């Protein structure tokens, strides 16, 4: 009997989840595992609200560390037009709270269902914490995190405060990771995107404090405007599978789960 493509994909997803469960069982852990339906939604829509959350104690540690480094202007930082520090770069090197969050099981367990057992964290894309101020008056331009499908990463947004329509929650265009490559970061300036009204299809994604969203790096997205009297703090991190054709310890990548494997046919 011939197996359809959809049946084959479903079988592969179930096998991947089963291997993930077995690996965590051997490690003596209670994993946060994605179902085959959740994996399908990630692949179809290009993003998924992860089922777990960061613990409240870790969120408070992160917010305290972020406030400390902003007050002390601990470089590298990014400033807004008024000269205020609104982003901390290279958070991986800023201490235990950041690394504990970026490698927390609530993040890596579901990512293992999407990326496999060998996962790297990227140091030179994302790897930052953002403070969106109440009187900023701006919103992040709609963009993709990478330009071409051959260089994708999996972006995870860590919401350290509740995000709502009022304080500028993330907006995404579902399925836009399937569009052709676009040369340039600003989608508002792309004539074909404007002509098709693609950005009008963006949907808001409110999230609770501690919530996590995994996103295909090609999905068109951006943050809204904070119209409240408070702040909106988040952290953004990029991950991908270990490149089995390089087999090297790359200076801009950190192995956060599994091992570096090599599958090249030149040996």
Buried b (16+ CB within 10 A) or exposed e, 107-138: bbbbbbbbbbebbbbbbebbbbbbbbeeebee
Closest CA to 233 of 106, 48, 59: 59
Note the residue count of the chain.
Answer: 267
**SS3 (DSSP) at 10:** helix
- For residue 109, the model assigns a pLDDT of 97
What would the mean pLDDT of 257-267 be, rounded to a whole number? 87
pLDDT in tens, 59-95: 999 999 999 999 999 999 999 888 999 999 999 999 9
Q: Using CA of residue 188, residue 189, residue 190, residue 194, what is the dihedral sign?
A: positive
Tell me the percentage of the chain whose pLDDT exceeds 70.
Answer: 84
In 3D space, the residue among 5, 27, 25 whose CA is nearest the CA of residue 17 turns out to be 25
Q: How does residue 22 score in pLDDT terms, banded at 50, 70 and 90?
A: low
Per-residue confidence band for 221, with pLDDT thresholds at 50, 70 and 90 = very high
Dihedral-angle region of residue 101 (phi above 0 means left; psi in -120 to 50 means alpha; beta otherwise): alpha
CATH of segment(s) 7-257: 2.60.120.620
* Residue 237 CA to its chain's centroid (Å): 5
More confident residue, 62 or 26: 62
Task: Give the residue carrying structure tokens 């609104």.
Answer: 86
Q: What is the residue extent of each domain of the chain?
A: 7-257
Q: Which pTM was predicted? A: 0.85
Tokens of 246: 């390089």
d(CA 129, CA 157): 10
Q: Which of 14-18, 37-41, 201-205 has the highest mean pLDDT?
A: 37-41
CB 111 within 8 A of CB 213: no
Find, among 133, 128, 199, 213, the residue nearest to 167 by Cα: 133
pLDDT score at 25: 45
Work out the mean pLDDT of the chain and round it to a whole number: 86
pLDDT, tens digit, for every residue of 136-188? 655 567 888 888 888 889 999 999 999 999 998 999 999 999 887 666 556 76
Q: Who has greater pLDDT, 19 or 59?
A: 59
- Tens-place pLDDT, residues 100-137: 999 999 999 999 999 999 999 999 999 999 998 876 65
- Helices 105-115 and 36-45 cross at an angle (nearest 10°) of 80
Sign of dihedral through CA atoms 12, 14, 17, 18?
negative
Give the Cα separation of 184 and 204 in Å (integer): 23
Per-residue pLDDT at 17? 45
Q: Both tokens of residue 242?
A: 């270990």
Q: What percent of the chain has pLDDT over 90?
A: 58
d(CA 109, CA 19): 12
**3-state helix, strand and coil shares in percent for the chain, rounded to the nearest 5:** 30, 25, 45
Cα separation, 68 vs 85, in Å, equals 12
């Amino acid at each position: 009997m011939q197996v359809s493509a959809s049946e084959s994909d479903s079988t592969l997803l179930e096998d991947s989840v089963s291997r993930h469960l077995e690996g965590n069982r051997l490690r003596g852990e209670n994993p946060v595992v994605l179902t085959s339906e959740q994996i399908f939604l990630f692949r179809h829509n290009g993003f998924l609200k992860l089922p777990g959350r960061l613990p409240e104690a870790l969120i408070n540690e992160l917010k305290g560390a972020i406030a400390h480094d902003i007050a002390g202007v601990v470089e590298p930082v990014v400033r807004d037009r008024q000269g205020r520090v609104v982003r901390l770069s290279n958070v991986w090197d800023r201490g235990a709270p950041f690394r504990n969050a970026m490698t927390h099981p609530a993040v890596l367990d579901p990512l293992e269902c999407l990326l496999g057992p060998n996962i790297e964290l990227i140091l030179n894309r994302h790897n930052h914490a953002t403070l969106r101020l109440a009187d900023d008056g701006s919103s992040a331009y709609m963009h993709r995190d990478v330009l071409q499908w051959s260089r994708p990463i999996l972006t995870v947004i860590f919401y350290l405060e509740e995000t709502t329509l009022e304080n500028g929650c993330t907006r995404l265009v579902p399925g836009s990771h399937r569009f052709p490559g676009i040369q340039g970061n600003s989608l508002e300036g792309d004539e074909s995107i404007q002509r098709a009204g693609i950005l009008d299809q963006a949907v808001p994604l409110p999230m609770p404090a501690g919530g996590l969203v995994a996103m295909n790096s090609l999905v068109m997205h951006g943050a809204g405007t904070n119209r409240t009297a408070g702040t909106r703090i988040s952290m953004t991190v990029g991950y991908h599978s270990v490149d089995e054709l390089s087999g090297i310890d790359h200076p801009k990548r950190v192995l956060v789960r599994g091992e570096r494997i090599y599958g090249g046919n030149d040996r």
